[in-house]
Amino acid sequence: MNDTISDRKPSLDFTPVRASREESEAVTTPSLTYSQDVWRRFKKHKSAMAGSIVIILLIFTAVLGPIVSSHTYYEQELDYANIPPLLEIYKISEDSYIYLHKHLKVIRVTPEGRLIERVKPLKDDFLKKTMLYEINGVEIIIDYNELPVVMHDTQGQQFEMTKKMNKSYLLGTDALGRDLLIRVIYGARISLLIALIATLANFIIGVIYGGISGFAGGRADMIMMRIVDIISAIPLTLYVILIMVILGAGLQSIIIALSSVYWVGMARIVRGQVLALKEQEFILAAKTIGVSTFRILLKHLLPNALGVIVITATMLIPSAIFLEAFLSFIGLGVSAPMASWGTLCSDSLEALRSFPYQLFVPAMAICITMFAFNFLGDGLRDVLDPKLRK
């Protein structure tokens, strides 16, 4: 009981570690720069990485898609109008296959699902509601007295049916027989262009305007913010309509409207950041040693607010894309035959009950793109905000 702690023998389960002073103070983990630390945490953000991958794939598809495609966005094939991406193919003989359209059109196809040609009926009996066709010597009868339509040969034998993907038009065709896939890809080009214009407007106009307003303060700040309030009070749709009166309808009017007024949200946010930063000690130190106002704004204030600026710009991109789609949907966007996701949704409304895929495809493109940019913005907010660092 009188033994001191130092006299006790170490337990057999533990071995004491004896390290020198240099070894105990050695730094085993390499230091990371700010950008390296941001990238390390960004890679762990699964939703942000997924959004980034989707955006990269969207860019590559929009750039390379029209180059490798054999179709154009304006090419019309009326015989192949409203062909869905999934075909119900009937086997007539060993080397003859047909697809029966909902509008009772008969189209010859390959066994793999590639369209060959439309077949004209030999006889169309409106009284009996039957149509007679001849496919490679085999006569077939289409009876549309009742639904579903019955197709059989002259002996009443029905044909075997299988489902195959449309190899000629992977996403089907619209009401004019145009390839829906290539039109969606051209719609992606327009959406990415709108995203680029919105980003440039936010960075070039919004950041500079808000930075000057916040750093100047006083009467100048009050006048500049009242201008922003006046611009914000007028709906963007009205700006587009007024510009269209002068320039005419089209994508050019939307681009000018976005460039003119879409930066006001960014200007407010940058102004608030600059107002909070300009009273910090490092700004006072820069003023003391005679650094110019422009250099303080450019080299000290804006870089420290860069995280918030990038996050805000990323979050504003989805709303700009949706705005373009909405304006095109109501007829204020791109003009025919140019394709936009909004115009594709608008054109598909008439045939929504019969051919819902024509609305589903561009609507899914809009949703996926907006989710991707929102996920990317959430990830950037988590990795760039110093308050959320772990």
Question: Cα–Cα distance between 163 and 181 in angstroms, integer?
Answer: 20
Q: Which residue, 98, 102, 154, 148, is CA-closest to 123?
A: 154
Q: Which tens digit of pLDDT belongs to each residue from 92-101?
A: 888 889 998 8
Q: What is the dihedral of CA 200, 203, 208, 213, to 10 degrees?
A: 120
Q: Which residue, 191, 193, 238, 198, is CA-closest to 343?
A: 191
Q: Tokens in use for 249?
A: 């309808």
Q: Provide the residue ranges of all domains of the chain, joining segments of one domain with +.
A: 86-165, 180-388
Q: Which residue, 20, 19, 63, is CA-closest to 188?
A: 63
State pTM to two decimals.
0.81
Helices (H), the chain: 21-24, 34-43, 46-68, 180-200, 208-216, 218-233, 236-247, 251-261, 264-277, 281-288, 293-296, 302-304, 306-329, 341-347, 357-384
- Residues for the chain: how many in total? 390
Q: Tell me which of 304 and 359 has the higher pLDDT.
A: 359
Residues facing residue 135 across a β-bridge: 138
Going by pLDDT thresholds of 50, 70 and 90, the confidence category of residue 85 is: very high
- Least reliable range by pLDDT among 64-73, 97-106, 185-194, 237-246: 237-246
Angle between helices 46-68 and 34-43 (to 10 degrees): 80
Q: Tell me which of 37 and 28 has the higher pLDDT.
A: 37
| Model confidence at 388: pLDDT above 60 | no
Q: What are 34-38's contacts with CB under 8 Å, separation 24+?
A: 38/383, 38/384
Contact 315, 377 (CB under 8 A): yes
Sign of CA dihedral 332, 336, 337, 341: positive
Average pLDDT of the residues of the chain: 83
Letter for the amino acid at 203? F
Going by pLDDT thresholds of 50, 70 and 90, the confidence category of residue 44 is: confident
| Model confidence at 3: pLDDT above 70 | no
| Model confidence at 27: pLDDT above 60 | no
The confidence score (pLDDT) of residue 2 equals 52
Encode 364-373: b = buried (16+ Cβ within 10 Å), e = exposed.
ebbeebbebb
List C-alpha distances in Å: 326 to 176, 329, 330, 340.
23, 5, 6, 10
Q: What are 350-355's contacts with CB under 8 Å, separation 24+?
A: 350/175, 351/82, 351/175, 354/82, 354/102, 355/82, 355/84, 355/102, 355/172
| Model confidence at 210: pLDDT above 80 | yes
The confidence score (pLDDT) of residue 84 equals 92
The CATH code that applies to domain 180-388 is 1.10.3720.10
3-state SS string for 290-357: CCCHHHHHHHHHHHHCHHHHHHHHHHHHHHHHHHHHHHHHCCCCCCCCCCCHHHHHHHCCCCCCCCCH
The most confident of 136-150, 168-182, 274-288, by mean pLDDT? 168-182
Going by pLDDT thresholds of 50, 70 and 90, the confidence category of residue 364 is: very high
The confidence score (pLDDT) of residue 291 equals 81
Q: Tokens in use for 338?
A: 């140019």
Contact 251, 333 (CB under 8 A): yes
| Model confidence at 328: pLDDT above 90 | no
